[in-house]
Amino acid sequence: MFEKLTAQPADSLLALIKAFQADPRGYKVDLGVGIYRDEQGRTPVMRAVKLAEKQLLETQDSKRYLGPEGDLNFVNLMKPIIFGANHDAGNVVGIQTPGGSGALRLGAELIASAAPGAKVWLGTPSWPNHAPIFESARLTVKDYRFVDLAKQQIDFDRVLEALDAAQAGDVILLHGCCHNPTGIDFDIDQWKQIAAKLVERKLLPFIDLAYQGLGDGLEADAEPTRLILEAVDEALVAYSCDKNFGLYRERVGALYLVSRNADQLKIADGNMASLARVNWSMPPDHGAATVRVILESAELTQIWKQELVEMCARVNGNRAALASAHPELGFIANQRGLFSNLAMSKETAVALRQKHGIYMADSGRMNLAGMQPSDAGAIVKALSAEGTL
Ligand code: LMR
C-alpha cells in the first residue's frame, strides 16, 4: 500500500527548534520559529492563562463532548476583540478550530466545497504553510511577489495588478497585521485601495489574523480587518490565539465567516460544522476554554491585555535595538510583529547558524521576539561577517 509514497523533507522551520536545542555552544540566539521569548529567553505561560487554568481545573465538572463547533462562548467572546465592540453580531458566524492552521484549512475546504478548484491569490513571500494548506484542500494557488526584500518595500503596483488579474469569485489571502515573514504591512491608504478593488472585482478576502496585539496593540492591529469587512459583502477570517495568549501547543483558533446574506450565513455555518466533523470531529478544548475563562472575567482580561502590551513593547524594543545597531537595518524599527525578513541566500542563513550560532529561517526570516537588545551587536557582527551588511 505505502510503497508509492516518496520521502518528505522535515519542515525546515520546525527543524530549527531541535537544531537550536541540540547546539552545545554557550552563546547562541534563536530567531527561528515564531514564538515570544521574555528577557530570560523563556516562553512563559502568561499570568492570565495560569490563573484561568487554575480556575478551570477547580471548576470544570465535565469533559463531555461539545460538538464540532467547539466552545461557542469562546468563539463569541473573541468577536468584539476582532470585529470591534459595535460589530453587527448578526453578520458573523464562527467555529473553534485547532489553531490558526486549522482555521485556514477549514476555510480552504469550505471554499473548495462551494467552488471546487477556486483560485487563491497569495502575495509572496508568505508563511511557508499557506500554499500547501490551500493546495491540500484542492484549491489552485496563484502567487505574486509583492515584497521586494532587497528594498524592504511592498511593490503595491504588483498587488493592484494581481487584484485586477483575479476573476470574480477568486480568493485573496491577506495578512491582517504583522505580516509573516516580512513584518511589512500595508498602510491604511493601501488597505482602502485593496478594499475598493475587492468590491469592484467581486473577490473574496480570506484574512489570516494570527498576531493581533503584537504589532501596535489589539485595536490598531484589527483596524485593517475591520476596514475590509466594512467594505465587502462576505469574507473569511482565520484567527489564532496561539501567539497573543501564548497557548501555542494547545492549538487555539477560530474560523469566522462574515456575510451580509443571513440565509447563506446559516447554511455556511452548518457546512463549517460538517467539515470540522470529518476533519477532527471536535477541536481540543483546553486552550479555548482557558481563553473563555479569561474573557469572561474583567479582571483576567485586564491582566491579559496588560501582559500583551508588555510583550508588544518588548518586541518593538528589540526592533529598535537592532535597527540602531547598523544603519542598513533601520527599516526593522518600522516593521511590525514578530518577524523581519532579510534578503539572503539559504547558504548565508546556514553559515549564520553554523559559524555564529545565530539561528534564523533559511529564507532569512528573523523572529525579533527571540533576541535580547544586548544580542544586537553579535547579530550585526555575524551579518557583516557573512556579507549581508
Ligand atoms: C511561524 O511562522 O514560525 C509560526 O507560525 C509557527 C509555524 O507553525 O510555522
Could you report the per-residue pLDDT of 207-225, keeping only the tens digit for each? 999 999 999 999 999 999 9
Task: Please compute the mean of the pLDDT values over residues 8-34 and round it to a whole number.
Answer: 94
Q: Which of 127, 129, 315 to mutate to test the pocket of ligand 1 (most atoms within 8 A of CB)?
A: 127
Tell me which of 30, 119, 121, 127 is the catalytic residue: 127
pLDDT at 88 over 90: no
Q: Which of 17, 129, 366 to mutate to test the pocket of ligand 1 (most atoms within 8 A of CB)?
A: 129
Query: Pick from 324, 246, 265, 331: which is nearest to 91 by CA?
Result: 265
Tell me which of 191, 243, 285, 304 is the catalytic residue: 243
Whether ligand 1 lies within 6 angstroms of the CB of 211 is answered as: no
Q: Regarding beta strands 29-30 and 358-359, do their DSSP bridges make them parallel or antiparallel, or are they unpaired?
A: parallel
Whether ligand 1 lies within 6 angstroms of the CB of 127 is answered as: yes
The three-state secondary structure class of 252 is strand
pLDDT tier, 260 (very low <50, low <70, confident <90, very high otherwise): very high
Tell me which of 30, 71, 170, 208 is the catalytic residue: 208
- How far apart CA 177 and CA 174 sit, in angstroms, is 9
Residues 194/224, Cβ–Cβ less than 8 Å: no
Could you report the per-residue pLDDT of 294-306, keeping only the tens digit for each? 999 999 999 999 9
Whether ligand 1 lies within 6 angstroms of the CB of 16 is answered as: no
- How far apart CA 111 and CA 88 sit, in angstroms, is 23
pTM, to two decimals: 0.97
- Evaluated on CA atoms 113, 270, 136, 194, the torsion sign reads positive
Residues 189/219, Cβ–Cβ less than 8 Å: no
pLDDT at 28 over 90: yes
- pLDDT, position 22: 96
Query: Pick from 369, 384, 387: which is nearest to 29 by CA?
Result: 369
Complete domains list, the chain, with CATH: 12-45+306-385 (3.90.1150.10), 65-296 (3.40.640.10)
The three-state secondary structure class of 380 is helix
Q: Which three cell numbers mark 243? A: 501567539
- pLDDT, position 140: 98
Could you report the per-residue pLDDT of 312-340, keeping only the tens digit for each? 999 999 999 999 999 999 999 999 999 99
Whole-angstrom CA distances from 187 to 86, 92, 191, 304, 336 are 23, 26, 6, 27, 12
Q: Over pLDDT 70: what percentage of the chain?
A: 100
- How far apart CA 36 and CA 48 sit, in angstroms, is 16
Mean pLDDT for the chain overall: 97
pLDDT tier, 89 (very low <50, low <70, confident <90, very high otherwise): confident
Q: Within 96-234, where are the H helices?
A: 99-114, 130-136, 156-165, 188-201, 218-231
Interface predicted TM-score of the whole assembly (ipTM), two decimals: 0.95
- How far apart CA 235 and CA 92 sit, in angstroms, is 10
Whether ligand 1 lies within 6 angstroms of the CB of 368 is answered as: no
Nearest CA to ligand 1 atom 2: 34
Number of H helices, E strands in the chain: 13, 13
Instruction: Find the range with the poorest average confidence among 39-43, 86-90, 133-137, 163-167.
Output: 86-90
Task: Please compute the mean of the pLDDT values over residues 184-197 and round it to a whole number.
Answer: 98
Indicate the residue type of 84.
G
How much distance in Å is there from the Cα of 33 to the middle of ligand 1?
6
Task: Please compute the mean of the pLDDT values over residues 10-18 and round it to a whole number.
Answer: 91
Question: What DSSP state is assigned to residue 84?
Answer: -
Whether ligand 1 lies within 6 angstroms of the CB of 34 is answered as: yes
Residues 6+ apart with CB under 8 A from 123: 143, 144, 145, 146, 147, 158, 159, 162, 173
Active site residue 127: yes
Active site residue 243: yes
How much distance in Å is there from the Cα of 342 to the middle of ligand 1?
17
Sequence-ordered strand ranges (E) for 201-336? 204-209, 234-240, 252-259
- pLDDT, position 90: 87
Nearest CA to ligand 1 atom 4: 34
